[in-house]
Amino acid sequence: GTAQIGVTGLAVMGRNLARNFARNGLTVAVHNRTAAKTRALVEEFGDEGTFVPAESAEEFVAALERPRRLMIMVKAGDPTDAVIQEFAPLLEEGDVIIDGGNAHFADTRRREKELRERGIHFVGVGVSGGEEGALHGPSIMPGGSPKSYESLGPLLERIAAKAPDGARTVAHIGPDGAGHFVKMVHNGIEYADMQLIAEAYHLLRSVAGYSPAQIAETFRTWNTGRLDSYLIEITAEVLAHTDEATGKPFVDVVVDQAEQKGTGRWTVQIALDLGVPVSGIAEAVFARAVSGHAALREASRGLPGPTARPLDAAEAARFADQVEQALYASKIVSYTQGFHQIRAGSDEYGWDVDLGSVAAIWRAGCIIRAAFLDRIRAAFDARHDLPSLLSDKQFAEEIGAAQDDWRAVVATAAVQGVPTPGFSAALSYYDALRAERLPAALTQGQRDFFGAHTYRRTDREGSFHTLWGGDRSEVSGA
């Protein structure tokens, strides 16, 4: 075979990735369960580069140069297993199967182990940036063995996006499921970012009394500063859009029930297992869930709330500045939490993930791309063992400078009855980390009272139990 890479699964993502490889000078074997899609790809885009169409699995495998690099871009879950089962028997030792779908990292770990035992490299790759990214340059998060990256890395580097400093947005994340894990957390952070932006919008609308068009302008201004990011940019676009049929702001004609495909939920489920407090991501997932409970919301509409107090123009402008501070501070917290989860996953599974390099490959190509990520990269590059993003001097200073406004915004939201689960959870996390003492000491006392769960003391080593039902003397714990 002559093809340097093969792509099977030619729906939007696979087709665009195949075109991206071909446009960058690679010979690409293409295959799809339904062969009509393979033919359509070659007919429509055949002049963009060198494609080798294959109708059968055998033909596809034969088209690949060795060691073979075969990328699967089919529906995640059972279809991915079916396709692996179909191709694995046709492959030889040293060949590489790449799964670019949105697989759960635990599935990737299982598949990698099974295929490793058969001498085949299995590389789970997180691909972010949607169909546009796939075609013009995604952010790519490959897991798998270092050996497989030697053969695959140079090809992925050709199709990845370019960060502002020219670096390609791809790096070997770590063994087995590390790439899909990091992609999962990326999506969780995306949920949190979107929720925080939504809260900022809600406050500007309900408290400051701004119109969607005015808020679009506000976001455009913010996008020239430290909040410069793809999500802020598209938010301004969406808010400025007018519905053609009604002439109303587009955002006012859309049903206010947010849907989800599940990667945010995965992030929170895994965070619970790892014991990592990703409260910002969790609140974002729950906020979508609340929005979707139409009957519950309908039944609750009559509950009493505060009387809104309209702001005058000067107060509204001042409030908008405060919201920018709250948004930025909360964003720092959600990235702090997301990177904590990546570090915890890396420790749990022995991946040795380089957090600076993760931030670096999120700078372009993906949905959460933002100027801010370059500073996160710098923070982790300067200190690999940085305990938390909040321990970085610059971020600590910035959040410190924002805190008064951040508190004012959360307080105003509470007084005016505007839900801000993201801003509030972020602020509580910040204050919990800062606290000299937490009421967890009381929690321990309660646990010892009803369940003899024991506690540790501040002044002596060991574990202790108080005889709550007896004379309340203290004994040594189990």
Instruction: Tell me: does residue 159 bind ligand NDP (CB under 6 A).
Output: no
Residue appearing with tokens 């809600």? 202
127 annotated among ligand-binding-site residues = no
**What is the distance between the alpha carbons of residues 128 and 332, in angstroms, rounded to a whole number?**
21
141 annotated among ligand-binding-site residues = no
What the block records as the tokens of 380 is 């982790």
Instruction: Tell me: does residue 139 bind ligand NDP (CB under 6 A).
Output: no
Reference 324, options 212, 184, 193, 219; nearest CA is: 219
Residue appearing with tokens 């990011």? 229
Does residue 190 have an active-site annotation? Answer: yes
Structural contact between residues 29 and 60, judged by C-beta atoms closer than 8 angstroms: yes
**What is the distance between the alpha carbons of residues 320 and 210, in angstroms, rounded to a whole number?**
10
Structural contact between residues 306 and 414, judged by C-beta atoms closer than 8 angstroms: no
**What is the distance between the alpha carbons of residues 241 and 234, in angstroms, rounded to a whole number?**
11
457 annotated among ligand-binding-site residues = no
Residues 290-309 that bind ligand NDP (CB under 6 A): none
Residues 58-117 that bind ligand NDP (CB under 6 A): 73-76, 79, 82-83, 101-102
Omega before 67 within 30 of 0, i.e. cis = yes
Q: Which of 43, 55, 113, 190 is catalytic?
A: 190
Minimum CB separation from ligand NDP for residue 55, in Å?
Answer: 12
**What is the distance between the alpha carbons of residues 384 and 382, in angstroms, rounded to a whole number?**
7
Which of 49, 67, 130, 209 touches ligand NDP by CB under 6 A? 130
Nearer to ligand NDP, 83 or 204 (CB): 83
Instruction: Tell me: does residue 33 bind ligand NDP (CB under 6 A).
Output: yes
**What is the distance between the alpha carbons of residues 154 and 133, in angstroms, rounded to a whole number?**
18
Q: 334: helix, coil or strand?
A: helix
Nearer to ligand NDP, 101 or 142 (CB): 101
Which of 127, 189, 239, 427 touches ligand NDP by CB under 6 A? 127
Nearer to ligand NDP, 128 or 322 (CB): 128
Structural contact between residues 134 and 17, judged by C-beta atoms closer than 8 angstroms: yes
Q: What is the secondary structure of 268-299 as a DSSP string?
A: HHHHHHHT---HHHHHHHHHHHHHH-HHHHHH
Q: Which of 183, 199, 324, 331 is catalytic?
A: 183
Other residues' Cβ atoms within 10 Å of the Cβ of residue 303:
6
Instruction: Tell me: does residue 56 bind ligand NDP (CB under 6 A).
Output: no
**What is the distance between the alpha carbons of residues 183 and 128, in angstroms, rounded to a whole number?**
7
Does residue 147 have an active-site annotation? Answer: no
Would you give the DSSP letter of residue 47? G
Nearer to ligand NDP, 75 or 447 (CB): 75
Q: Which stretch binds ligand NDP (CB under 6 A): 123-131, 244-252, 419-427, 459-467?
A: 123-131
Instruction: Tell me: does residue 10 bind ligand NDP (CB under 6 A).
Output: yes
Instruction: Tell me: does residue 144 bind ligand NDP (CB under 6 A).
Output: no
Minimum CB separation from ligand NDP for residue 390, in Å?
Answer: 30
Q: 387: helix, coil or strand?
A: coil
Nearer to ligand NDP, 34 or 257 (CB): 34
Residue appearing with tokens 């309660």? 446
Nearer to ligand NDP, 94 or 130 (CB): 130
Nearer to ligand NDP, 80 or 336 (CB): 80
Nearer to ligand NDP, 125 or 236 (CB): 125
221 annotated among ligand-binding-site residues = no
455 annotated among ligand-binding-site residues = no
Structural contact between residues 447 and 232, judged by C-beta atoms closer than 8 angstroms: no
10 annotated among ligand-binding-site residues = yes
Minimum CB separation from ligand NDP for residue 76, in Å?
Answer: 4
393 annotated among ligand-binding-site residues = no
129 annotated among ligand-binding-site residues = yes
The count of C-alpha atoms lying within 13 angstroms of the C-alpha of 166, restricted to the half-sphere facing its C-beta, is: 0
Reference 366, options 141, 71, 123, 200; nearest CA is: 141
Instruction: Tell me: does residue 37 bind ligand NDP (CB under 6 A).
Output: yes
Q: Please tell me the count of residues contacting ligand NDP according to CB under 6 A.
A: 22
**What is the distance between the alpha carbons of residues 37 and 31, in angstroms, rounded to a whole number?**
8
CB-closest chain residue to ligand NDP:
101
CA 20 to chain centre: 23
418 annotated among ligand-binding-site residues = no
Which of 131, 233, 374, 381 touches ligand NDP by CB under 6 A? 131
Which of 4, 20, 27, 32 touches ligand NDP by CB under 6 A? 32
Reference 126, options 365, 428, 294; nearest CA is: 365
Q: Which residues are 343's β-sheet partners? A: none
- Positions touching ligand NDP (CB under 6 A) are 9-14, 32-34, 37, 73-76, 79, 82-83, 101-102, 127, 130-131
Please identify every residue annotated as catalytic.
Answer: 183, 190
Annotated binding site: 9-14, 32-34, 74-76, 102, 128-130, 186-187, 191, 261, 288, 447, 453
Annotated binding site for NADP(+): 9-14, 32-34, 74-76, 102
